[in-house]
């Protein structure tokens, strides 16, 4: 997991062309003007999901894990807590959904607060719980950029 602010985005260009494309999209797009939905930056390899929702209490959250994609979760408007749990401590509940690239579970994690302009990067080794209220449920606009990794990690949990 990486937590930072968009003003430091260029530092992460060294992670590769896909990351550079993702961060340039976040920096150079009027994200407040975008409607909810999916925006393809490089086909299924790099795409953005724009979403608006109410944050929720931690008791209503679930940890999730992806095998095929890294998430860059960027707060456009509002603030939220995002939980992190190393994969070794993740307790899977249910089957992995190959089509949606997700499995849910639980565990004892730690939380970081993200406000407007902040992003959190989650890799397939990072179980994460997004959309959690900092104090009370409030509206948030967020962009999640999905970056396909080189290989599908099937046996990580």
Domain chopping of the chain, boundaries: 2-148
Task: Please state, in angstroms and rounded to a whole number, the distance separating the CA atoms of residues 117 and 91.
Answer: 31
Please report which confidence band the pLDDT of residue 129 belongs to, taking 50, 70 and 90 as the band edges: very high
CATH number listed for the domain at residues 2-148: 2.60.120.370
Average pLDDT of 95-112?
A: 96
Stated pTM of the model: 0.93
79 Rama class: left (phi>0) / alpha (psi -120 to 50) / beta: beta
Instruction: Report whether pLDDT(154) > 70.
Output: no
Mean pLDDT of 72-87: 97
With a cut of 50, say whether residue 157 has pLDDT above it. no
Q: What is the mean pLDDT of the chain?
A: 95
Is the pLDDT score of 128 beyond 80? yes
Q: How far is CA 63 from CA 21, 44, 154, in A?
A: 27, 24, 18
Is pLDDT at 8 greater than 80 in this prediction?
A: yes
């Amino acid at each position: 997991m990486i937590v930072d602010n968009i003003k430091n985005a260029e530092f992460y260009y060294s992670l590769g062309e896909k990351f550079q494309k993702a961060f340039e999209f976040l920096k150079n797009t009027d994200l407040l003007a975008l409607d909810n939905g999916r925006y393809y930056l490089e086909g299924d390899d790099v795409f953005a999901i724009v979403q608006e929702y109410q944050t929720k209490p931690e008791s209503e959250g679930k940890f999730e894990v992806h095998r095929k994609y890294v998430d860059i979760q960027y707060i456009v408007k509002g603030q939220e807590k995002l939980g992190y749990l190393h994969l070794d401590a993740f307790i899977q509940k249910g089957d992995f959904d190959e089509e949606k690239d997700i499995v849910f579970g639980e565990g004892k994690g730690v939380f970081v607060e993200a406000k407007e302009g902040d992003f959190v990067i989650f890799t397939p080794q990072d179980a994460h719980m997004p959309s959690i209220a900092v104090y009370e449920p409030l509206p948030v606009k967020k962009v999640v950029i999905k970056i396909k990794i080189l290989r599908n990690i099937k046996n990580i949990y």
